[in-house]
Amino acid sequence: MRRHRTTARGKLLALLAASLMAAAASPQAGGGGSAGQGVPRFVFPLVAQTELWDNYGDARPNGSHEGIDMENPWRAPVVAVEPGKIDYHDSALGGCMLYLYGRSGTMYMYIHLNNDLTAKNDNRGGCKQGVTFAVPDGARVSAGQQIAWNGDSGDANGNPHLHFEVHPGGGGATNPYPYLKGALRPLFAGKLGAVFSLGLRGDLVARGMATVKVDVEQVRYYPGGSWLTVEPRTVVLDKGQVRLSRVTRIVQSSPSHVLKRPVPVVAFTPKAQVTRAAITGAAGSLRLQRIVRR
């Protein structure tokens, strides 16, 4: 059963409405976008397996729910949905929050971010960079770049989830659900141009002359990072001259290059620069360095 959320939207927006509208109208805050533009197709705000349903407009003790609450793992990477500028905020009800002023002119609110220092729900971290936020206050960020960690601050204490709002043109809230359903799902969080490599756990399902297909369930980002369960998806990796070593005979047994039985594998990509296509795992954006059977 889905737990009822008690995010206090009415009072929070009433307290901050003036500053929000002023910032949204500022060319610096909006990243150069026009306030009259529509909401673009954006990158999903988390890199994690997510339980998503439409709870926009649900009744709350403090008024109608003006965002979408998503069930996500504690400390899952929270990412920028589009290029823009970061603005830190906090409140007793919303806890640790940030606003992303998107290049399109849309403002996005991320609420109930992490405030824990340890693996326990200690609430001792405050709302600061390195605990809550992954980038400095006022930073310019690219779509898919990590900006924070998911948490349970404010009135979500003990109930980790992300409350996410969409404000076209920096004005009133609109239902984020259709935009979230159509969002580009990130395979990992990365800053454009940064050097990265990935580990991909899943099932090898097909091999062609130049590519392999892996149904991915977990991803690890290098440097740093740990294995993270993501929304399952098929990732096409450019094989080049890489030998499939321990899985070669199994793959070659199928003339159509589609395996009769998926093979559990871990695939690794070589070092490369982060691109938007790579962040979303688009075909042709990732190369295979090696692959081993699990």
159 and 33 part of one domain = yes
154 and 247 part of one domain = no
Place of tokens 């003790």: 61
In a domain, 62, yes or no: yes
CA 77-79-80 angle, to 5 degrees, is: 170
Instruction: Say how many C-beta atoms besides its own lie within 10 A of residue 83's C-beta.
Output: 23
Q: Tens digit of pLDDT for each residue in 216-234?
A: 999 999 998 899 999 999 9
What is the count of structural domains for the chain?
A: 2
Q: What is the pTM of this model?
A: 0.83
Nearest Cα to 57, choosing from 46, 66, 47? 66
Q: Tens digit of pLDDT for each residue in 26-74?
A: 333 333 333 335 899 999 999 998 888 787 766 566 666 678 888 888 9
Answer yes or no: are the C-beta atoms of 111 and 98 closer than 8 Å: no
175 and 36 part of one domain = yes
26 and 154 part of one domain = yes
Q: Tens digit of pLDDT for each residue in 98-127?
A: 999 999 999 999 999 999 999 899 999 999
Provide the domain limits for residue 229. Answer: 195-293
161 and 225 part of one domain = no
Instruction: Say how many C-beta atoms besides its own lie within 10 A of residue 99's C-beta.
Output: 25
Answer yes or no: are the C-beta atoms of 82 and 57 closer than 8 Å: no
40 contact partners, CB below 8 Å, separation of at least 6: 82, 102, 104, 106
- Which of residues 181, 207, 234 is at a domain's end? 181
156 and 275 part of one domain = no
128 and 223 part of one domain = no
Q: Which run of H or E residues covers position 261?
A: strand 258-268
159 and 221 part of one domain = no
